Amino acid sequence: MVISASNNAATAPTSSLEVVVSKAARPLSVHQSILTQLYFGAIDGADQNFLSIHTDLEVLGPDLFAQYWVTDEKVKQSRYKNVRYAYNRQMLFGYVRFACSGTYNFQQLSERAYRQIYECLINSGCRRLLRTWNYFPQITKTCSDYKHHNRYELFCNGRLCATRASGIDNKVYPAATVIGNRGDYLQVYFLASDAPGVAVENPRQTSAYHYPVANSFTQPLFARGVLKAWGERTHLYVSGTASIVGHETLHINNVGAQLNEAINNVETLVEHANDQHQAQLNAQDDLLYMKVYVRHNEDLARVQQVLTARLASDLPRMLLLGDMCRDDLLVEIEAFYQT
Ligand code: 3EB
């Protein structure tokens, strides 16, 4: 019997995955293979034929911002416990949402979300978590019933417990965003693949999983960036990036300087991906969009000023109201590179 190369998973070509951003909801065709459609801002009637995710984040500005994740191989949809997901052989995009008001404390809730995510990945062929987005309210609120840790710390603990329990080889942590919203839910959505990505760390920043932390608090398990090839394309998923150098917050009370520092961090990460990981990213041309989380509405004008000075005028950007995991951070950014 002849086994053709296409039956061999190791040599099978990687499906393509392309992300398209748009300021308006687009009509989709069932003939397109849509992995997910993501919406920031108000939209009515997103096509329920596809996995569609509406974030609880408030958009600062009049525009809707939509993302369509398109592949070249047929996509199926399924559900595992509370996780809704879309997938094919090589990629999986999932979404889980829990009300924060239930009987679980926040560590248990986060652990539950991540246990379900990992179980979902183990049951599918796509065990490598590449990118996660995590949103929940009252991110720096201290939980008096829980050793006075705040919700972000409890989230980190829950995520770590679930990661350990999964038994999945986690040498490559996913790129991640963790932002406080003004809703009532823990929302997590994520991208996974059958093949690992390459973790990229930032020479200007202590790796988050090596942050010095106080007793009984765990390090945040995320990579500063993850590189992943999809067919002819390469993606660099840049984690939520703030004005942190080493492990310390810089430019307290200065939103403009914080944003400039965060952009410096992203630029350094891209250079590092090119120099150390053989990526060939153009820091300007391959930037698909930038997401900017702003803590205070009244900082918007200053934020816009810095973005105008630092970004190409036609670069799609999305400004969202959000709280950072440290009280002294006023702004955080997130970038997506695609070649
Ligand atoms: C930082 O650099 C800012 O816990 O997964 C950014 C991105 C941050 C991801 C996470 C936290 C996380 O530490 C906070």
**253 burial via Cβ count (<10 Å: 0-12, 13-18, 19+):** exposed
Q: Whose CA is nearest to atom 13 of ligand 1?
A: 208
Q: How far is the CA of 326 from the centre of ligand 1 (A)?
A: 9
pLDDT along the chain (339 residues), means of 10: 42 85 82 90 74 90 86 95 97 96 88 98 96 96 76 95 88 94 95 97 96 81 97 96 97 98 98 97 96 97 98 95 97 98
Q: How far is the CA of 194 from the centre of ligand 1 (A)?
A: 25
Beta bridge partners of 186: 98
pLDDT for the residue numbered 7: 41
**Which numbered atom of ligand 1 lies nearest the CA of 220?**
4
Q: How far is the CA of 239 from the centre of ligand 1 (A)?
A: 7
The preferred substitution site among 238, 325, 332, 334 for testing ligand 1, maximizing ligand atoms within 8 Å of CB, is 325
pLDDT for the residue numbered 229: 96
Q: Whose CA is nearest to atom 5 of ligand 1?
A: 176
**Contacts (Cβ under 8 Å, ≥6 apart) of 237:** 130, 131, 175, 191, 197, 225, 226, 228, 336
Instruction: Please give the Cα distance from 249 to 61 (Å, whole number).
Output: 28
**Which numbered atom of ligand 1 lies nearest the CA of 205?**
2
- Reading the block at residue 50, the tokens are 């596809």
- The CA angle 134-98-27, to the nearest 5 degrees, is 70
Q: How far is the CA of 176 from the centre of ligand 1 (A)?
A: 7
Contact 238, 335 (CB under 8 A): yes
- Ligand 1 binding residues, C-beta < 6 A: 156, 176-178, 208, 220, 222, 239-240, 242, 244, 325
Instruction: Please give the Cα distance from 119 to 80 (Å, whole number).
Output: 8
Q: What is the pTM of this model?
A: 0.94
Directed axis angle between helix 300-310 and helix 255-277, to 10°? 40
pLDDT for the residue numbered 97: 96
